Structure 1
């Protein structure tokens, strides 16, 4: 790794973005920095943040990966979810709910992936995983009691007790509160551009004209990374192959929420998380919201052309609850009608497009920017819809990169900036391949407008 003579233990550090990477980095920096008041985290919304993919009602926490690398990392995070006193509410209740993780397999691809995960669990000597007993874990499961099954649907399925879900927004808020209590500053502002000088990146300017100077800048901007960095890339005239869009792209999944009454909540609150093959997931309802959540795993991008002719994907400016009807119907038909037909005739409480940054191999991007004009810029992003579970630990690895320290050969390679010449590239399967985007949001909306015009 490249090194920086200025240790983050005494530097002025600006963290842009307060999702999982930003919150965890601020939290871990606040533990080691000599003067936490020199750390500032800035987000577009007042505290607590609202736009990040991380600020959701709940997120899945599991270690089920076909990659031993991410399985080991997830078990490290899981230990923190179970034991850290910082990961619980004011009432002492832990944010992590160990309800288990039920994986259903329908297609040949589902079955192959499930078998690889089960084999990796066995190699790691996990004793919490078992092959599904259809009569117990499926037919008697309150989530799936009315599900429609085809022969062989559970032949490669399994149940892992050592998993569950966590209160997402509450956990993010708690870690930022702890960082702020130690002296870290939280500011509300919409970053318009980075500030450069002859020595590199020296801070950021927000749309309201305020400037935030720093010795090191961390972009923890998730799906907004290309949008934030593109003006600076234009300023220094970066060619296409060196721009951040080659490292990641913004994509969205559709999420449907059902509001449960008290009796429905009590019946489903202890149900496991259900992974329905490559279709998506069902997450049980939290107490505070009583919302049952369905995630459609088929992702979309929102590609536009900038004023300088560069194509980037970024979340649209409009409300994230505006979901095309085609995606809604797809979610209802492919996911909900098959798994919980008892809900199909009930109205969805609300829809959401949840955005994240997806990398080619779904590895994170935790690295110093390779360009000399951006030498003080660091990226902590690329969640690829599976990073949230690492909230308790990922920040310590970002801090190591800020200090010019290695996280170990494999982590350094996987999380590096991938050069056009192939440096840092990796072969083999991705960490979360189901979320690689294959369609455009604009195409779905254009098709919808054409249909509406044809019947008008």
Structure 2
């Protein structure tokens, strides 16, 4: 019987590809609710940041491996990577942490970072001349090797590579996991009445994971996600930048921008995408939950809209209160330095967040044959070229001790607070409706 992967986002697509590369004779089914790549998936995006700057040495090491793949090692994804550099506003203490991590991995003096004062940053990058750098930033670091990827294009290429190797891609919305009398997971049923039996079921269903687990076995709380993960969405906006010396010309040689402080922690990826060479993407790093009552399990669970909603793809149909947040991000970064940036489209990008922002790549202890590969916590996409390798290691019982411990389903979750910690609910946003 096959290995069934539910969800063709970053985790699921990469896992399918690596399974076939590891064992060409294995039967792999990749199930998703839409033809690939699914425009509602978090990994299906206009673009995503690719970088290795992590306070956590484990993730920095993984990110360096992934960045090597993006840069040159993996011909499936390298056409989609754009090395523009990335600029962070940061504290001196965090700068030291990043430099120390780099030097521990690469050697003394090998940290690929340039440190700039806030004033030096404004001079070097005139588009930030009026940037407010609010909320505690002390300086900036420039990472010349970082950049961004054409997210949807790379995801599609990874899935296509998996399909070309023999992965069977099926379109269907998972309704419930199926179990035998012993509680062993045997497959999944879809909303259109089909059943997909499998010997291994990998749940890579992203933001829908907690809801699907509760719907599948409402009477078995041991199977449920509980406080391990929570669906949340961040607001993105594509701003159209007019031509001219106060518009697109200001973005010439501009890096990716990250400002994780103040009332509007944010990111901005400069224009340059094939799909929109004059579109800058700004993200408000403020995740919203959408709490809903699950009748079957009698509990409240954060979940994206269960019907296919335009708000999971690019749209203009969002409350004015959310649109105002995007405008505030634009104004915080660019003030009067860049003029005429007008909103083209918005998107609520859904992911699944864990309290410690570590992923869950683990057998599910409450059911044989069921495995979880989720919990991207808004930093998973950059690992698209490599994350499947570690999921396959988990399936084969070959994860390192550190990875197995850090990504376990039943671990000691020590919550941390970052800009991507969920802290608002969409139902409380004035004007939000479904």
Task: Output the TM-score relative to the length of structure 1.
Answer: 0.84
CA deviation map 1:227-248 (0-9, x unaligned): 22211121xx213x65213210
Which residue of the other structure, out of 46, 54, 57, is the alignment partner of 1:68?
A: 57
C-alpha contact (below 8 Å) 1:194/1:205 kept by paired residues? yes
Partner of 2:76: 87
In structure 2, the CA distance between the partners of 1:270 and 1:213, relative to structure 1 (3 Å rule), is farther
Does residue 244 of the first structure (1) align with residue 244 of the second (2)? no
Partner of 2:35: 46
Does residue 281 of the first structure (1) align with residue 267 of the second (2)? yes
Partner of 2:334: 340
Which residue of the other structure, out of 344, 365, 386, is the alignment partner of 1:370?
A: 365
Provide the C-alpha distance between the structure 1 equivalents of 2:74 and 2:424, rounded to a whole number of angstroms: 42
Q: For residue 51 of structure 1, give the secondary structure of its aligned residue in structure 2.
A: coil
Residue 134 of structure 1 deviates from its aligned partner by 4.6
**After the TM superposition, which residues 115-194 of structure 1 pair with which residues of structure 2 at under 5 Å, given as runs?**
115-124=96-105, 125=107, 126-134=110-118, 137-141=121-125, 143-148=127-132, 155-194=138-177
Residue 288 of structure 1 deviates from its aligned partner by 2.5
In structure 2, the CA distance between the partners of 1:229 and 1:345, relative to structure 1 (3 Å rule), is same
Partner of 2:25: 35
Partner of 1:415: 407
Partner of 1:454: none
C-alpha contact (below 8 Å) 2:66/2:386 kept by paired residues? yes
C-alpha contact (below 8 Å) 1:142/1:271 kept by paired residues? no
C-alpha contact (below 8 Å) 1:337/1:344 kept by paired residues? no
Q: For residue 148 of structure 2, give the secondary structure of its aligned residue in structure 1.
A: strand
Greater shift in the superposed pair: 214-223 or 140-149: 140-149
CA RMSD in angstroms comes to 2.4
CA deviation map 1:298-348 (0-9, x unaligned): 111011111131111111243214433222212322x21121234575430
Does residue 358 of the first structure (1) align with residue 353 of the second (2)? yes
> Structure 1: any 5+ residue segments left out of the alignment?
1-10, 419-423, 450-456
Provide the C-alpha distance between the structure 2 equivalents of 1:209 and 1:188, rounded to a whole number of angstroms: 13
C-alpha contact (below 8 Å) 1:270/1:284 kept by paired residues? no
C-alpha contact (below 8 Å) 1:254/1:323 kept by paired residues? no
Provide the C-alpha distance between the structure 2 equivalents of 1:344 and 1:362, rounded to a whole number of angstroms: 36
C-alpha contact (below 8 Å) 1:253/1:295 kept by paired residues? yes
Residue 112 of structure 1 deviates from its aligned partner by 4.4
C-alpha contact (below 8 Å) 2:117/2:140 kept by paired residues? no
Does residue 388 of the first structure (1) align with residue 381 of the second (2)? yes
Which residue of the other structure, out of 81, 87, 95, is the alignment partner of 1:102?
A: 87
Partner of 1:254: 235
- The structure whose residues are more often helix, as a share, is 1
Residue 121 of structure 1 deviates from its aligned partner by 3.0
Q: For residue 416 of structure 1, give the secondary structure of its aligned residue in structure 2.
A: coil
Residue 142 of structure 1 deviates from its aligned partner by 5.2
Q: For residue 371 of structure 2, give the secondary structure of its aligned residue in structure 1.
A: strand
Provide the C-alpha distance between the structure 2 equivalents of 1:347 and 1:245, rounded to a whole number of angstroms: 41
Task: Output the TM-score relative to the length of structure 2.
Answer: 0.88
Q: For residue 419 of structure 2, give the secondary structure of its aligned residue in structure 1.
A: helix
CA deviation map 1:333-391 (0-9, x unaligned): 2x2112123457543000111010000100000011111xx211111000000011111
Residue 33 of structure 1 deviates from its aligned partner by 2.3
Q: For residue 383 of structure 1, give the secondary structure of its aligned residue in structure 2.
A: coil
Provide the C-alpha distance between the structure 2 equivalents of 1:35 and 1:339, rounded to a whole number of angstroms: 51
Which residue of the other structure, out of 172, 180, 186, is the alignment partner of 1:197?
A: 180
Residue 114 of structure 1 deviates from its aligned partner by 4.2
Does residue 312 of the first structure (1) align with residue 306 of the second (2)? no
Greater shift in the superposed pair: 39-48 or 261-270: 261-270
Provide the C-alpha distance between the structure 1 equivalents of 2:200 and 2:238, rounded to a whole number of angstroms: 39
Q: For residue 254 of structure 2, give the secondary structure of its aligned residue in structure 1.
A: coil
